[in-house]
Structure 1
Amino acid sequence: MPFKRHIPNLITLLNLASGLIALIFAFNTNWQMAFFWVSMGIFFDFWDGFFARTLKVSSPIGLQLDSLADMVTSGVVPGLAIFQMLAGIADMQEELNLQSDNFYMGLLPYAGFIITLASAYRLAKFNVDTRQTNSFIGLPTPANALFIMSLPVIQIYSDGDGIIFDLLSNPYVLVGISLLSAYMLNANIPLFSLKIKYFNWETNKVQFTFLIISVLLLFFLAYLAIPLIILLYVLLSVINNTFWQAK
């Protein structure tokens, strides 16, 4: 059936559409909805590859389209999120006459787009890197996007008080997060794939461990669990590379 070869690409376009909608909400600092639409884009990003493999209609165009969609949903949107957070801090400091250097603080928000540039480089590298067919090297852009997009939502739910709010209201912390994000996207660190091919513990113990702990964290911590889950993903990958795969 000729139509079936278009199904994965249509799903990929839904990823792109979700990213565009998330951009609108991010521009308006509606962080809950921006997070929701980025999550929807990542959901579609998972299923386009699944249907391409299931229907046996994978194509070079689909690969390129997938990266272009990810560039918006998982590259541009998180970069804009950090830009908006830093710009909000700069505006607040200006209103309170706390800024000692308006020019410097006016430039600082653009540091958020380091994430976008690093995401573009990672996606281009991923398309030509034959080592990343069954696992990842460096943090995948969707995981990084969830990490970044959770930050303004966590800030909202912290009710303007506490150490977490103070950290996320510090411009230098946000710039540091942007730099760390850019590094992790392109770091030469093998990370396990979340695809489960066989439902047995020995083959998928790292995936099952990750999923069980992630569900528990989400149940008890809600949005606060998301950055912890991304950190857990990296930590379990290091443990897997060092101990479990070595056996």
Structure 2
Amino acid sequence: MKQHIPNAITLLNLLCGSIAAIFAVEGFFVYAAFFVFLGIFFDFFDGFFARKLKVQSELGLQLDSLADMVTSGLVPGIIMYKLLGLTLNTSEINNDWGVGSFESNISILPFVGLLITLGSAYRLAKFNIDEEQQNYFKGLPTPANALLILSLPLIMEFQNSDAMNVIILNKWFLIALTIFSCYILNSNIKLFALKFKDYSFKGNASRYIFMMLSFITIVVLQFAAIPFVIILYIFMSVLDNLTTK
């Protein structure tokens, strides 16, 4: 019976991702973000329980990636598609999905956002066949990348900053972020995993410092802190790699 517990949690991740995708398509970004966050929560605990119960399996690994593909791959792509559509300031992106809804002058720009979905799929496929990524990640994990993309509509909704909104709804910023997202997902940069073999400061200095700085940044900047936390994670991982060498 216990071998089914981690897989059940993984399926909850997939359910949350599916609900988030529906909300994202409908333009309810805040609800979509909530279910992505909830899915990422389940994504963390399925692996935790699999290790604690000693029921890790190949089925669980594949199921986990399939769930992540929806929650942390498909949904961010849809969100970026929608955001790029908003930069057009036209009615080209609408809710009429009939055969005749596409006009001859429809812009292909919003579809650039779906590159994030493709980059996420490629990253997950590489992760599944890479036996080295046990204590570290090569490239940014898809849940972290999903948080980065989902932070944009949350900043617009809750930060109440015209300056931030202007930046977020700049098509060149969104295109650059999409390209960066695809690159960092599949880069060979080694990023430390938040897994503790022990709780000593000496062996986990980078993790403790990162968690402390992240907490302070989130308290001060709220949702706007998420991009800074991701950048901090990458920077500290690179610094950690150089220090180790």
- Common topology (TM > 0.5): yes
Residue segments in structure 1 that go unaligned for 5+ positions in a row: 95-101
In 2, distance between residues paired with 1:149 and 1:60?
30
For the pair 1:207 / 2:202, whether they are aligned, the reply is no
Percent of aligned pairs with the same amino acid: 49
In 2, distance between residues paired with 1:127 and 1:60?
10
Deviation at 1:40, TM superposition (A): 0.7
Alpha carbons 2:13, 2:42 under 8 Å: kept: yes
Deviation at 1:33, TM superposition (A): 1.6
Alpha carbons 1:167, 1:173 under 8 Å: kept: yes
In 2, distance between residues paired with 1:8 and 1:83?
32
**What SS is found at the alignment partner of 1:191?**
strand
**What SS is found at the alignment partner of 1:136?**
strand
Alpha carbons 1:136, 1:191 under 8 Å: kept: yes
Q: Name the structure 2 match of 1:98.
A: none
Matched to 2:45, the amino acid is W
**What SS is found at the alignment partner of 1:35?**
helix
TM-score (norm 1): 0.91
Q: Name the structure 2 match of 1:117.
A: 118
Q: Name the structure 2 match of 1:153.
A: 154
In 1, distance between residues paired with 2:64 and 2:204?
26
**What SS is found at the alignment partner of 2:198?**
coil
Residue segments in structure 2 that go unaligned for 5+ positions in a row: 93-102
Deviation at 1:91, TM superposition (A): 3.6
In 1, distance between residues paired with 2:161 and 2:201?
43
Matched to 2:152, the amino acid is L
For the pair 1:130 / 2:131, whether they are aligned, the reply is yes
**What SS is found at the alignment partner of 1:224?**
helix
Show structure 1 runs of 4+ deviating over 4 A. 102-105
Q: Name the structure 2 match of 1:174.
A: 174
State the Cα deviation string for residues 60-88 of structure 1 (Å, max 9, x = none). 11000000000000000000000011112
Alpha carbons 2:29, 2:153 under 8 Å: kept: yes
| 2:40 paired residue among 39, 42, 48 | 42
Instruction: Pick the structure with more helix per residue.
Output: 1
CA, structure 1 residues 63+173, in 2 after alignment: closer, same or farther (shift >3 Å)?
A: same
**Segment drifting more, 151-160 vs 7-16:** 151-160
Deviation at 1:35, TM superposition (A): 1.2
Aligned residues: 235
**What SS is found at the alignment partner of 1:131?**
coil
CA, structure 1 residues 113+24, in 2 after alignment: closer, same or farther (shift >3 Å)?
A: same
Q: Name the structure 2 match of 1:66.
A: 64
**What SS is found at the alignment partner of 1:84?**
helix
Q: Name the structure 1 match of 2:100.
A: none
Alpha carbons 2:17, 2:36 under 8 Å: kept: yes
In 2, distance between residues paired with 1:207 and 1:85?
33
Alpha carbons 2:159, 2:223 under 8 Å: kept: no
Deviation at 1:157, TM superposition (A): 3.0
Q: Name the structure 2 match of 1:99.
A: none
Map residues 1-247 of structure 1 onto 2, 5 A cutoff. 3-92=1-90, 106-159=107-160, 161-162=162-163, 164-243=164-243, 245-246=244-245
Deviation at 1:173, TM superposition (A): 1.1
State the Cα deviation string for residues 158-192 of structure 1 (Å, max 9, x = none). 43611x21111111211111011000000010000
Matched to 2:136, the amino acid is S
In 1, distance between residues paired with 2:126 and 2:239?
25
In 2, distance between residues paired with 1:241 and 1:176?
26
**What SS is found at the alignment partner of 2:55?**
coil
Matched to 2:183, the amino acid is Y
State the Cα RMSD in Å.
1.6
In 1, distance between residues paired with 2:189 and 2:141?
11
In 2, distance between residues paired with 1:73 and 1:111?
19
In 1, distance between residues paired with 2:104 and 2:205?
52
TM-score (norm 2): 0.92
**What SS is found at the alignment partner of 1:146?**
helix
In 1, distance between residues paired with 2:104 and 2:178?
20
